Amino acid sequence: MPVKSNIKEKLRDILLGCLQRVADNNNIHLDGIDFVEIDRPANFEHGDYATNLPLRITKLFGNNPMAIADQIISEWPDTDFLSEISVAAPGFINFKLEDKWVQAEIGHIIEDGTNFGDNHLDNLEKVMIEFVSVNPTGPVHVGHARGAVIGSSLANIMSAAGYAVTREYYINDAGNQMQLFFESVLARYHELLGSSYQLPEGGYQGDYIKDVAELLHAEFGESLIGNSDAINEMAKFSTDTMLNAISEDLFELQVEFDNWFSEKSLFGSDEYRDTIGELESKNYLKEMDNALWFVSTILEEEKDNVIVKSTGEPTYFASDIAYHRNKFKTREFDQVIDIWGADHQGHISRLKAAMRALDIDDSKLKILISQMVTLKKGEEVVRASKRTGDFITVKELVDEVGADACRYFFLARSASSQMEFDMELAKKTSNENPVFYIQYAHARIQNILALATENQIDWEQADLALLNNIHELNLIKALLRLPEVIHQVADSLEPHHMPHYALELASYAHAFYEHCRVISSDPNDEAITKSRLRLIQAAQVVFGKCLNLMGMNAPDRM
């Protein structure tokens, strides 16, 4: 089993123990001790890790922070991984890692291999991450790409963090947008055959509708004209065609799913009926103006919401309640993460209210909003609208910019910030992109390892204590942070920390490369050569893992 070294966790455990002993000595009762934070100081002179704990408990202890800090470190047990524990004004405790311990960790990284950095939780939690879930009425466009990248990387990272993750795509294959889509396809189909058919009001106009119509013609010939019996087959064919296209485009972006869940299936089974029944029996429903309403105002919502329209059709909200009830009650997920576009933001609060109505703990439903992407081509802002057919698809974006750069850019920004994506800039400066900086570090390492193998150097046994200059130690310490970053991302649901970490790691790797010659022709350097090969083998493990978690390639040469 991996779990060798989450340094922060180690420090936190020891710190909590010391804190408890100090509290006992002073007859102080500790209740909430969830405020123990271990940070990495900005200034390296303050050590490798630090805590502000003494500053935060002055009131509880009725003492000044420096005195508390002294008491805490006087309780510190013997540890092999620290070389120095010191108190600094106004009340920080700073920790320096022991070089010998740091050097020896290289062996653990190599031993763990692709499992390095994985966390293992005591209880295996079932987590569903639902993302993209674009209506199968058109291709995936740029706005969706951001959620797709965030969702897929978060899934990878949470999986590494020890959760049992299911990646799901919710297919909105019911409702009137689908009807509009079918009508639009039929209109193009008739047009193709020289027959007349009215394109419906607000119908879809993109060229891809014509493509579907042509495929429809290839499949069904002219048999659909005036044949209303064939509408179901036609609908299924059109939907499947779109879903295949969506799936293929997402695959190009390195986005895949474990499960595709059909909205329609909620109506085929009893899920929808049971959901309405449960809301009914708990008195959350009322009839008004021939429609059925969810009385969310009981749950402190601003307004009530229609569940079943006066036409008798369920609203999107209705099936979404049934869908989320299915996630929690039928499939028993411990945690459900939905990744939505900013235009669905207003839906959060009422869906959570619906969960409470069904006696589901709504804190287990986490909704991440991926903010708007403004797509630019130079100075020109590209508006995306499916209905007018004027949009940049994911496919176009990936073809132009490349999946790796695309993923990196979407991933590096926090989901809650709106962002600009300038395609011309991304293309033009692609050689200077951070993504290449990271991949280049990996490629350089691979190149040295390949050369060492070619030269038949055996670096299995090496004296790691030789790795004692600043560049070597910085690099190893950076490698050892991967488990912390994985933990941080899974905990905060903020995958953007991963690319930032990767960039910092690459910076240490390049500095090492520049200052530390690995393969030397001087026979006197044999020992350090082996040690450094050992180091970069560990680095290769971490770069590979990191890029893999982000869904990016780790090229051997560039």
Site for RNA in 483-512 (CB under 7 A): 494, 496-497, 500, 503, 507, 510-511
**Binding flag, residue 385, RNA (CB under 7 A):** no
Angle at the Cα of 326 from the Cα atoms of 324 and 332, rounded to 5 degrees: 105
Which residues, 6 or more positions from 458, have their beta carbon under 8 angstroms from its beta carbon? Answer: 530
Contact positions with RNA (CB under 7 A) in 519-538: 519-521
Asked if 381 contacts 375 with a C-beta cutoff of 8 angstroms, the reply is yes
Minimum Å gap between C-beta 521 and RNA is 7
Report helix angle 271-281 to 316-325, nearest 10. Answer: 90
Minimum Å gap between C-beta 480 and RNA is 19
Q: Which is nearer to RNA, 112 or 263 (CB)?
A: 263
CA-CA distance, 157 to 160, in Å (whole number)? 5
CA distances (Å), origin 11, targets 20, 196, 427, 487: 14, 74, 44, 15
Partner residues linked to 382 by β-bridges: 375
Contact positions with RNA (CB under 7 A) in 429-458: 429, 431-434, 436-437, 440, 443-444, 446-448, 451
Select the residue interacting with RNA from 149, 160, 412, 538 (CB under 7 A). 412
Minimum Å gap between C-beta 217 and RNA is 27
Contact positions with RNA (CB under 7 A) in 72-91: 88, 90-91
Among 41-49, 189-197, 396-404, 540-548, the segment contacting RNA (CB under 7 A): 41-49
Q: Which is nearer to RNA, 91 or 483 (CB)?
A: 91
Asked if 266 contacts 326 with a C-beta cutoff of 8 angstroms, the reply is yes
Residue carrying the six token digits 């009530």? 304
End-to-end CA distance of the chain: 34
Contact positions with RNA (CB under 7 A) in 252-311: 288-291, 302, 306, 309-311
Q: Are strands 380-382 and 373-377 parallel, antiparallel or unpaired?
A: antiparallel
Count of CB atoms situated within 10 Å of the CB of 269? 13
Minimum Å gap between C-beta 193 and RNA is 29
Select the residue interacting with RNA from 1, 31, 34, 43 (CB under 7 A). 43
Select the residue interacting with RNA from 413, 481, 487, 545 (CB under 7 A). 413
Site track for RNA across 330-369, x = CB under 7 A: ------------xxxxxx-x-------------------x
Site track for RNA across 170-209, x = CB under 7 A: --x--xxx--------------------------------
Asked if 73 contacts 93 with a C-beta cutoff of 8 angstroms, the reply is yes
Minimum Å gap between C-beta 247 and RNA is 18
Sheet strand arrangement including 373-377: 380-382, 373-377, 419-422
Q: Which is nearer to RNA, 65 or 483 (CB)?
A: 65
Q: Which is nearer to RNA, 53 or 106 (CB)?
A: 53
Minimum Å gap between C-beta 120 and RNA is 25
| # chain residues binding RNA, by CB under 7 A | 86
Among 34-42, 187-195, 237-245, 251-259, the segment contacting RNA (CB under 7 A): 34-42
Minimum Å gap between C-beta 300 and RNA is 12
Q: Which is nearer to RNA, 224 or 354 (CB)?
A: 354
CA-CA distance, 25 to 537, in Å (whole number)? 47
- Sign of the CA dihedral 250, 252, 253, 259? positive
Q: Which is nearer to RNA, 83 or 115 (CB)?
A: 83
Among 45-53, 112-120, 226-234, 353-361, the segment contacting RNA (CB under 7 A): 45-53
Contact positions with RNA (CB under 7 A) in 139-168: none
List, in sequence order, every beta strand (DSSP E) within 52-159.
82-88, 92-97, 126-130
Q: Which is nearer to RNA, 47 or 162 (CB)?
A: 47
Collapsing DSSP to helix, strand or coil, 335 comes out as strand
CA-CA distance, 316 to 307, in Å (whole number)? 8
CA proximity to 398, closest of 388, 410, 386? 410
